Structure 1
Amino acid sequence: MKTKLIFLLLLTLLSLSTYGQVVIKGKVTDAETGDPIPFASVLLQGTSVGNSTDFEGNFLITSSSRADSLLVTYIGYLPQAKALESGNEHTINFQLRPSDIQLDAFVFVAGENPAYDIIRKAVDKKKQFDKRNLNAYETKNYTKIEIDIDHVSEAFTKRKAVQKVTAVLDSIKQLTNDEGEKILPVFFSETLSSFYFRNNPELKKEVVEKSKVTGVGITDGSTASQITGSAFQEYNFYKNWLNILEKEFVSPIADGWRGFYDYDLLDSIKIGEDSVYALQVYPLREQDLAFTGTIWINKETYALKQVDLTIPREANLNFIERIKIQQELTATEQGALIPSKTRVQVKIGQITPKTAGLLAKFYTSVDSISIGNPKPTSFFNQAVVLQPDFDSEGAEFWNQNRKDPLSTEELAVLQMVDTLNKIPVIRFYSEGLKFLATSYLPIGKFDLGPWPGFFNYNNVEGVRLGAGFRTNMKFSNKWALEGYAAYGFLDQRLKYHGGVTRILDRNRWTTVKISTQKEIDQVGLEMENLAGNSVFLAASRFGTLRKPFISTNHKLELRRELFKGFILSGGLKLNHFDPLYNFYHRDEVGSELKSEFNTTEAKIGVRYGRDETFIINDNERISLGPSRWPIFAVNYSQGFKWLKGEYNYSKMNLVISQKLNMGMLGISKYEAEAGKVFGEVPYPVLENHLGNETLFYTTAAFNTMNFNEFASDQYFSIRYRHFFEGFLLNKIPLIKKLKWRAVANANVLFGSVSEANKSHAPVMDPEGFPLQPFQGLDSNMPYLELGYGVENIFKFFRVDFFHRMTYLDDPDTKPFAVKVSAQIIF
């Protein structure tokens, strides 16, 4: 009986305790973007009871204390309070608005800022926690990306094409931000992947297991799936510098932190089982490429626990209103930290008041972390690999395998993007933009183009009309065909090109290509050497052609990546040179003057980029460039007197290029090249240095040199460019508002021509009329030009001013030149 009474008493007390307990749950989100706000403080007003939101913005408070209201605060946002109704269970959601108010720094009259000691200890222990010190690791990743049209202006919605879209979308739940502005989703993707890392050498690889890509204008998700995984969403704050949008931002725990940041110790709190310091960080100079926000550092280990950092609009970034990075880190068995969850928001403002902005959201979660067991180097040959059935799964698979269920808003996004893809006017504009960007229009198994070759006009061909095609993956993923034909109405000549490529291996990219071509080319401006400078090439082929000739060639080309970053190429080329200008050269004996000549040339080359990243777009392999290490390329060519070849000669050249991070001074890029031609050949076979008489700036040319001005059989050149970012002009008040950025150039060329090769270019033709001799450089005097300029004018344009410092005696030289270009930079 006594036992029963005790049990009843305990039960009664428990019931009374439960009855008096208040349970409050909810979610805190950004009022403008709708994204969750992690690490926000939630407090019962008038008490010390509260909690912090998790990475998804959720919170849960259980307390016997009661209050009239609930208060949410977070740095960078306006605080918000909501009343608590009567009852024991509450669900309250908050939408916080960003604040433009910046907290003033604390001023310490005596002694050192206590935050400095914390940062100093965190920096001292960086090596212990940097994941790059792991021998190897593997993770399973889930990545989600959403892109929306934001800030839709009234003028934008009144456009006829836009009204056709909104009329269709009226039947779907409209997505708005907290201010009632409509958001129009245009892209949504989900990716499940395996990520691999190994050290010594540092190599990375992502295997995309499953991917679902839905986007306006996207008909084949294979290319998009290679860049929507986690490999391109990696942010390691244990690096001194983080590359974001091709710019280098300094980490709050960089070795040189005192030169870039100031800090405030905000609080000492508990996150899970860890006691941490919460520190506010902000740049010493608002124009620096640095972060502002909050970082949390473990009290015992001084390891980063989590970060919530923003790149403010004061940083000299184009179009970008805000970049926000939130990250939660997890310790591995060996102590190094790996981000377990990362969320990135990129808000792109309106270019003009009559356009719309963009909002891009990236989310990555990591689990199944495995340390050790490094894969062999050959495993990393391809940075991103798609599994054969990567896009085969439907909605049921994703419902079961995504770590976090999609929100109601995200489900509405998927429905809206699917609907947009079916609207004719959307398909028309999206296909049109792709046609302009890629130069090709997909039509079934074939792509029509390139459009720059449809029409041309110059002094040799007059009006030139042409058309071409290439096959795509729908035709074959092993065979690629291409070709075009063009006709000039003045010279009445047919030009053509045709090629067949066999893709032998898509993992270790291996191809064999056979092609034939008859085309008008220009000495020193050969089309195959300017394939990556389409605007400059197009400009140089309009109007007056310089030293034009008919080139008829047949080529066999082979290419294979032997191991990560190391590409071996080779081939054979038979070429017939038929000049359309007054050109003669001496035959091998040196007695007879000839106009045409043939060459047969075998070529072998190697190219090595230690950290160069490639993706496969349809049947092409595209380089995304290196991140740190230089790229080396060595090429050797041998000319033979067989298969109609008339000369024995050898050509060798070495090219080194690299991007250098100069910290707060900006970014430098250089290309150094050295080469030599062995043997006696006509000057079109020599190295005819690329000049630039067009209005357009190009990094491939000497911009104050005339076309065909200099040729060399041995040479060394270096082209150096420096981008000051905001280092100089950000200190001038008016220029700072315009966000102009200073640039500088220095181009140097050493070269010479042997007497034997000079003898191949006679000064008189067979009729006794003078010929235009080619000019060689003085081996004791380099060609030098210096340049300076401003980029980011009206956010798109760049103007460069070049001064030619040497070889000024020729009256045809231009000692000063102005070049313009257009570019999209951030």
Structure 2
Amino acid sequence: MRFLERLDFRINPDFLKISTSNEPTVIGMNLTCDSFILLVKIPSMLRYLLFTGFFLFSTSVWAQFTIKGKVTDAETGDPIPFANVILKGTTTGITTDFEGNYFLSPSAISDSITVSYLGYIRQTKALRKDPDQTVNFQLRPESFELEAFVFEAGENPAFEIIRRASDRRKNFDKRSLEAYETKNYTKIEIDIDNLSEDFRQRRSVQKVTSVLDSIKQLTDDEGEKILPVFFSETFSKFYYRNNPELKKEVIEKSKVTGVGITDGSTTSQITGSVFQEYNFYKNWLPILNKDFISPISDGWKTYYDYDLLDSVLIGQDTTYKLQVYPRREQDLAFTGFIWIKKADYSLKQVDLTIPKEANLNFVDRIKIQQELIPTPAGPLIPSKTRVLIKIAQVSDNTPGLLAKFYTVTDSILVNDPMETKFFNQAVELKPDYGIVESDFWEKYRPDPLSVEELAVLQMVDTLKNIPIIKFYSEGLKFFATGYKQIGKLDFGPWPEFFNYNNVEGVRLGMGLRTNYKFSKKWELKAYGAYGFQDEEWKYSASVTRILDRARWTTIQAYSSREIDQVGLEMSNLQGNSIFLAASRFGTLRSPYFSSNHGLNIQREFFKGFLMKGGLNLSQFDPLFDFYFLDKDTREYKSNFATTEIRAGIRYGRDEIIIINDNERASLGSVKWPIFEVNYARGMDLLGGDLDYQKLSLYVYHRINLGLFGVGRYELDAGKIFGEVPYPILKNHLGNETLFYTTAAFNTMNFTEFTSDRYFSIRYRQSFEGFLLNSIPLIQKLKWRLVGNVNALWGSVSDRNLANIPTVDPVGNPLNSFGRLDFGTPFLELGYGVENIFKFFRVDFFHRMTYLDNPGAKPFHVKVSAQFIL
């Protein structure tokens, strides 16, 4: 009998062969393992039986050997999809799925497993000998420099792939569909991170430290501590219609919990998927009000370099995996990976990051991960999208902010458009959106909440009930909104509590308004102030009835008595309480008492189209030397009354509107300009002294100019018909301060020009990083060029000039207003640099015309502080 000496056992996927000779036996079959070798020498039949039994035993053991786990970001706790997981020393590996999970059933045995991904530090962990084990990884972000790729001969092979993908964008852009609708689940989490030890030791923070330490961290011991402050889940339906392009989201169910959140209705409107839409088939993607260039845009070669890494099978699709790099690291461009299907050059998935070097402020990282699926008509819809925005620390001793968004889309229906009237309201809340059965979320959310996310909910619920947290959160809301909510009333606005000027001396004021807790149909407002120098009371009061919230319809009655300034009327500053209060400090120019009583009504008839009308009775009582010649009595008068019937329309084709409690708030337009036309008829009825008509047009438009940044223009035109005193005319707003403002002509003096017909255009250009991003010594400073061109045409008719006396009734000279020659515009040109030390801006203005006017200066320097990304 021969003892065990040799058995050669090899696996080959193509054949199975058993030999009964005394030579080594070669065995192969279709298995996942590579090889296993054992040397035997035994008689033929016994060798065959032993080998068969050993083979069956081995196969059974290997089939049960599995490794699984999850790969997450150590700082944020977010999954890392598409990461490479490899058994060390073997070729056995896999990539993580969109949730960061992996599963291996290896044939080759290793003592450790390694995970790697671009932008993260590679990590290796030891394996146990257990047949089934779970190994999780928390990878830490790594700073890396983009390499330069030099191709000595021929074209970069990645270019042809990108060229074809870019050329076929219209075939796969979901905007080419006649219509589509989807069901969406959106999850948002906001955390405070980078909690330094100095920050944790602050007295105000120590009261929450014990709570923070008592609840499990969002990552494990390898991660960073974060303080959750907001968490929301939303189920919604999203509707899109082409020609005309319209969008709408219906919030069906929503759950919002957060520090300082008192009412979920407003918050629920902005936590849906409509604000988390990222379409890489657009040339530019708007993120945080900045425009980022897509890697497959028309101008891809101007902004990006590419590296073709591999051909990868994803599901049933063979894809090209490409790495993308910005050509200039300061540009608003992405770095990371994209996967393009080999069959039709459509996007399969993306994993892209905005690096630290990009010309952004306060943003440490923006990361977008997306999977796309084809619709029955061909164009693609993102099935899963994950976005991470990490706001950096302002200083070493301040915390940062982390915002995480996750959207899952399914139940896609295409080319069945809803009627245009359906899109009248951009975001709609179902009546029972906040009424949810106890097991609803567990039953219908696509993925169960992780242990970390459950800890987030626990922490937020705990924090918002801590007194010190309540104090700070309510304080921030008070500062931002101007009002402090106490039950059914809001008190404020705080900027008008105290003022000081040359007319009123010390001025103290206080106001209140009802909120949604009082009523969602009625809103009452009142404000009172007293000047200790003029010893006069000022007040305003209004009652508003909300008749229809879907097609925003309101009727309002109001009454007020206040101090205004010619050319700076309070009615033009409503909604900007800080600027309004600032206008009451210091020296008031051409002040007067203004009494107004009237009625307003407005209604939105269809998407973006709002009509309004009203009646206004006013009284003008000047507090400066002012007279005009009454055309009927031919006598000089200093005060007058007006009765105006008013009407207006406003149209913003793609303007995004939300209902903020009992107010209608605009979030701006996406692509098209916003138009506003107003008409007023002054009548000598109901106490009115003047007969005139006023017609005006206003247009605002934001234009994305790609490489050249963003432009914004404002058109303002109007005409006044009839003979009126100059306070009724258009008194163009100048700026004699050191500070730059977009609301005025920055080289014009206060009340320098007045017109009864006028046309103006104000254009400002933000070049972002254009030019300066390419200058080696400047690009690190992240400065950005800005430019201004402001022009004004205007004139005053002879009959209105005749009504303005040059002396008062006793012969003292009066100051006359300046006027424009319509053939010669007032023109100013400006240029400057913003983002100096992240906050400051310096503008240099040249006044080009009317240099002979009294007080005119040809050159001005304006400074300003701004908080911009």
What range describes the TM-score normalised by the shorter chain of this pair?
Answer: over 0.9
Equivalent residue, structure 2, for 1:633:
676
Structure 1 window deviating more from structure 2 (316-325 vs 725-734): it is: 725-734
Question: RMSD across aligned C-alpha pairs, in angstroms?
Answer: 1.7
- Partner residue of 2:276? 233
Amino acid of the structure 2 residue aligned with 1:217: G
Deviations 1:362-411 (A, max 9, x none): 10011111112211111111111111121222653222221111111111
Distance 1:395 1:698, change over 3 A: farther
Partner residue of 2:384?
Answer: 341
Query: Aligned pair in 2 of structure 1 residues 772, 754: CA closer, same or farther (>3 Å)?
Result: same
- Farther-moved stretch of structure 1 (55-64 vs 785-794): 785-794
Q: 1:180, 1:55 → 2: CA distance?
A: 20
Deviations 1:721-768 (A, max 9, x none): 010111133334444333222211111100000000011111111111
626, 629, 638: which one pairs with 1:595? 638
Give yes or no for contact 1:105–1:264 (8 Å, CA) kept in 2: no
User: Is the CA contact (8 Å cut-off) linking 2:70 and 2:79 kept in structure 1?
Assistant: yes
Name the counterpart of 2:455: 412
Q: 2: distance between equivalents of 1:306 and 1:689?
A: 53
| Aligned residue number for residue 496 of structure 1 | 539
Determine helix, strand or coil for the equivalent of 2:214. Answer: coil
Does 2:346 correspond to 1:303? yes
Label 1:374 to 1:10 Cα distance change in 2 as closer, same or farther (>3 A): farther
1:729 equivalent in structure 2: 772
Matches within 5 A, 1:20-35: 20-21=62-63, 22-35=65-78
Cα deviation per residue 1:121-175 (whole Å; 9 max; x = unaligned)?
1112111111001111111111111111111122211211011121344433344
Instruction: Output the amino acid matched with 2:628.
Output: H
* Partner SS, residue 295 of structure 2: coil
- Give the residue type in structure 2 aligned to 1:411: L
Q: Give the AA of the match of 2:522.
A: W
- Find the aligned partners of 2:223 and 2:121 in 1 and give their Cα distance: 18
Q: Determine helix, strand or coil for the equivalent of 1:362.
A: strand
1:51 to 94, 97, 105: 94
Distance 1:408 1:271 in 2: 29
8 Å CA contact 1:287–1:726 kept in 2: the answer is: yes
Confirm or deny that 1:18 pairs with 2:52.
Answer: no
SS in structure 2 opposite 1:668? strand
Selected match of 2:618 from 575, 579, 603: 575
Query: Contact 1:33 / 1:177 at 8 angstroms: preserved in 2?
Result: no
Corresponding residue of 2:422: 379
Matched residue SS, 1:738:
coil
Match for residue 796 of structure 1 among 832, 836, 839: 839
Q: Which amino acid aligns with 1:626?
A: S
- State whether structure 2 residue 305 is matched by structure 1 residue 262: yes
Q: For residue 207 of structure 2, what is the aligned residue in structure 1?
A: 164
Of the candidates 581, 593, 596, which is equivalent to residue 538 of structure 1?
581
What is aligned with 1:805?
Answer: 848
2:469 is aligned with 1:426: yes
User: How big is the shift at 1:532?
Assistant: 4.8
Which deviates the most, 670-679 or 89-98? 89-98
Which range moved further: 521-530 or 77-86? 77-86
The residue that corresponds to 1:660 in the other structure is 703
TM-score normalised per structure 1: 0.96
Give secondary structure in 2 for the equivalent of 1:820. Answer: strand
- Structure 2 contact 328–773 (Cα < 8 Å) conserved: no
Q: Distance in 1 between matches of 2:575 and 2:780?
A: 34
Residue in 1 that maps onto 2:314? 271
Amino acid of the residue matched to residue 437 of structure 1? Answer: A
Give percent identity, aligned residues only: 67
8 Å Cα contact 1:608-1:633 kept in structure 2: yes
For 1:176 and 1:52, how far apart are their aligned partners in 2? 21
Aligned to 1:252, the other structure's residue is in SS state coil
Change in Cα spacing, 1:739 to 1:468, as seen in structure 2 (3 Å) is same
Number of residues of Structure 1 aligned to a counterpart in Structure 2: 818
* More deviation, 581-590/724-733: 724-733
Question: Contact 2:495–2:578 at 8 Å: present in 1 too?
Answer: no
Is contact 1:32-1:178 (8 Å) kept? no
Counterpart amino acid of 1:219? T
Report how far residue 177 of structure 1 moved.
6.3
How far apart, in 2, do the equivalents of 1:66 and 1:179 lie?
27
Match of 2:175 in 1: 132
- Whether the 8 Å CA contact 1:177–1:183 is kept in 2: the answer is no
1:20-64 deviation digits (Å, cap 9, x = unpaired) = 233221111112211111111222333332221110011112233
Match of residue 744 from structure 2: 701
For 1:439-588, what aligned pairs fall within 5 Å after superposition?
439-588=482-631
SS in 2 for 1:214: strand
CA–CA distance in structure 2, aligned partners of residues 167 and 51 of structure 1: 41
Instruction: Give the alignment of 1:682-701 within 5 angstroms.
Output: 682-701=725-744
Q: Which residue of 2 aligns with 1:85?
A: 128
Distance 1:351 1:453, change over 3 A: same
Distance 1:366 1:821, change over 3 A: same
In 2, Cα distance between equivalents of 1:222 and 1:640: 43
Give the Å deviation of 1:774: 1.5
Find the counterpart in structure 2 of residue 772 from structure 1: 815
Partner of 2:337: 294
Instruction: Give the AA of the match of 1:747.
Output: N
SS in 2 for 1:437: helix
Q: Which deviates further from its counterpart, 652-661 or 74-83?
A: 74-83
1:451-475 residue CA offsets vs partner (Å, 9 max, x unmatched): 1111111111111111101110001
Q: Find 2:251's aligned residue among 208, 215, 231.
A: 208
- Give the CA deviation at 1:14: 6.2
Q: TM-score, normalised by structure 2?
A: 0.92
Of 663, 666, 670, the match for 2:713? 670
Residues 394 and 216 (structure 1), Cα distance of their counterparts in 2 relative to 1, 3 Å cut: farther
Equivalent residue of 1:248, what SS?
strand
Alpha-carbon spacing, 1:302–1:191, altered in 2? closer, same or farther (3 Å): same
Deviation sequence 1:244-271 (CA, Å, 0-9, x none): 1111111000011111111100010101
- 1:786 and 2:826 aligned: no
Question: Is the contact made by 1:67 and 1:84 (CA closer than 8 Å) also made in structure 2?
Answer: yes
1:323-354 deviation digits (Å, cap 9, x = unpaired): 00000001110111000000001111110111
Task: Pick closer, same or farther for the CA change 1:250–1:169 going to 2, 3 Å.
Answer: closer
Mean alpha-carbon deviation: is it higher for 95-104 or for 486-495? 95-104
Unpaired segments ≥5 residues, structure 2: 1-50
Distance 1:581 1:457 in 2: 18
Contact 1:288 1:664 (C-alpha < 8 Å) held by counterparts: no
Give the conservation status (yes or no) of the 8 Å contact 1:510–1:558.
yes
**Residues 730 and 178 of structure 1, relative CA distance in 2, 3 Å threshold:** farther
| 2:62 aligned partner, one-letter code | G
Give the equivalent residue in structure 1 for 2:401. Answer: 358
Q: Secondary structure at the match of 1:625?
A: strand
3-state SS in 1 of match to 2:852: coil
What residue is the counterpart of 2:660 in the other structure?
617
Describe the shift of the 1:10–1:786 C-alpha distance in structure 2 as closer, same or farther (beyond 3 A): same
More deviation in 169-178 or 659-668?
A: 169-178
> Is residue 261 of structure 2 the alignment partner of residue 218 of structure 1?
yes
More moved, 13-22 vs 621-630? 13-22
Segment drifting more, 16-25 vs 260-269: 16-25
- What is the CA–CA distance in structure 1 between the aligned matches of 2:104 and 2:575, rounded to whole Å? 59
For 1:427, give the aligned amino acid.
K
Point out the structure with max Rg over C-alpha: 2
